[in-house]
Amino acid sequence: MKKNKQEIIFNILTNPVAFMLIISGVIFFITRHFSMGNDEGMWSYIARVWMENDILPYTGTIENKTPGIYLIFALSHLLFGPGFEFVRILGLICIFFSGLLIYLLVKNTLNRTAASFSMVFFGLTSLWSIMDMAYIAQTEVFMVFFLVLSFYTATKSKNNSKWKIIILFSGLLMGFAIAFKQTAIFSALALVLFFIIYCAESSKNSRKILGMLLISTGIVAGIILTAVPLFISGLSIKGYIEGAWLILLNKGSSVPINYHLNSFSYFWLNSRFVVFFFVLLFILIKPSYLKNRFFLSTFIWLALDFIGVNASGNYFGHQFRQIQPALSIASGVIIAYLFEEFKSLNQKVLRIKKILLVLLFIIISIPYTELLSGEIGFKNEDKKMGYWLKNHTSKNDYIFFIGYGGNPSLSYSERISSSRYFNYMFITSDKEKSIVLNDLNAKTPKFIIWHKGFNTRWDEIDDYVLKNYNFKCSFENYDIYILKRIKQASQDE
């Protein structure tokens, strides 16, 4: 007997592999139209100068991420040379398996209905432009994969004689998540509470304490393991701690409180993430659901990752990915609970309410604005400028960018920045400014590339460029200045 369209659609939506393959296919189609993003350019540059020039992350290139993303871009560079495509493919694989793991996690702990809705919510929200859906080589994509895998592994410790090994491994995986972004520490705390509340709910306190110690040991081991390649390359422990952790105290890693509050209001109250508050509203209406230990621990996980997302005050789209797993699971579980409550209704009312509920779910989660906008990709001026710089310099020449957004061009240029502070956002005090000026004098750049309209509010760098450089040409958003003595030499010839 032939299946009707409704049955086919239902089977696809409830088949985890088929659904996540469709989501992955859509993401692949979209991401291949987007050139290198600013963060991707930054990490590609860090990996390149590490692999080719022995310039180490943290001491030779200043950025505020833990080592995971540098390791992946370094692997990409070793295999394929400068670029980002391989890392995006790895990111796509991580999104695919993250969706499957969410399905399996919820299915094994609750039921298939909750698992299917959780996976669908995760998959569809992965297509939101507010999540930077096209830029899948982001730290959060890999962080989410490891933290979901960590929680899934933790569920296997429940009523298992080998729980010690399992929970230690779960902690190790969470350590890998932290190795991609420090805010996964909030997810790590959620994992500890998840183990106490759900995995070891009927266990003695001694087992719970031992489990906490094993998780913590695994986390520390995971963090250290990812730093080992840097230590082998010559990075000191001090350099690692200052570059990966203490840099979070730098003003470039945070924002003023008024900006923080305004951004919080915009992104949480005036965007699609308002769905977060539907979960909170449901808890207020039905607090009895928190008696379910899995749902309670998931809600705590959601609350802690909410804190993690808001920690820095920088609301870049990819940062919201951290809250995606817990929010997806909480939403899926709520829908499953509502379906259970509808069972007491007569069949006609039950069908209407189910249809309305599914429609509401689709309206909230499906990326209709992205699909209807027709805006896919953008002009690749960064690549053009990067190749221009490469063709007008030698391997021994330095370049330096003033302003924001120049990292893709720096990566494409295959040249080295004069200063370890190639990422302008971390030049925030007189100390960094002094270091930059010393770097420019020691490794004088042939070209200085200045973002149009960018106000440095830094007289010394303005005077330095005015005294030593002449205007050369412009690209779309940048003015390029050439060192005066080089221009004079070319004129004399």
CA dist., res. 487 & res. 446, Å (int): 10
Cα 452 to its chain centre, rounded Å, is 28
| Same domain? 253 vs 358 | yes
Angle between helices 85-109 and 139-155 (to 10 degrees): 30
Whether residue 358 is contained in a domain is answered as: yes
Same domain? For 352 and 212 the reply is yes
Note whether 358 and 436 are same-domain residues: no
β pairing state of 445-451 and 478-483 = antiparallel
Element (H, E) at 399: strand 398-402
pLDDT tens-digit map of 66-101? 999 999 999 999 999 888 999 999 999 999 999 999
53 domain-assigned: no
Q: Which of 400, 393, 374, 384 is nearest to 477 (CA)?
A: 384
469 phi and psi angles, rounded to 5 deg: -130, 150
In this structure, are 322 and 386 located in the same domain? Answer: no
CA angle 374, 377, 382 (to 5 degrees): 155
Q: Which of 393, 301, 202 is nearest to 309 (CA)?
A: 301
Q: Which of 405, 414, 398 is nearest to 448 (CA)?
A: 398
Q: Which helix (H) or strand (E) holds 25?
A: helix 16-31
Q: Same structural domain for residues 312 and 450? A: no
Last residue of a domain, one of 342, 357, 373: 373
Containing structural domain, residue 189: 5-33+64-373
In this predicted structure, what is the pLDDT of residue 159? 87
Low-confidence spans in the chain with pLDDT less than 70? 1-14, 251-255, 270-272, 275-276, 342-379, 486-493
Segment 182-202, tens digit of pLDDT = 999 999 999 999 999 999 888
Whether residues 388 and 480 share a domain: the answer is yes
pLDDT, residue 374, reads 46
For residue 38, being part of any structural domain is answered with no
362 lies in the same domain as 444: no
pLDDT score of 468:
94
Q: Which phi-psi region, left, alpha or beta, contains residue 242 (left: φ > 0; alpha: ψ -120 to 50)?
A: alpha
Residue 351 confidence (pLDDT): 66
Same domain? 421 vs 345: no
Residue 58 included in any domain: no
The answer to the question of residue 43 being in a domain is: no
Residue pointed to by tokens 């004098």: 441
- Give me the torsion for CA of 321, 70, 308, 224, rounded to 10°: 130
Is 215 within a domain?
A: yes
Final residue in a domain of this structure, among 357, 373, 389 = 373
Say if 78 falls within a structural domain.
Answer: yes
Residues 467, 473, 478, 482: is their CA dihedral positive or negative?
negative
Give the containing element (helix H, strand E) for 478. strand 478-483
Contact 135, 37 (CB under 8 A): yes
Domain boundary among 373, 393, 426: 373
In a domain, 54, yes or no: no
Phi, psi (rounded to 5 degrees) for 83: 155, -175
Q: 10 Å Cβ neighbour count for 266?
A: 11
pTM of the model as a whole:
0.90
pLDDT of residue 212: 96
Q: How many independent structural domains does the chain possess?
A: 2
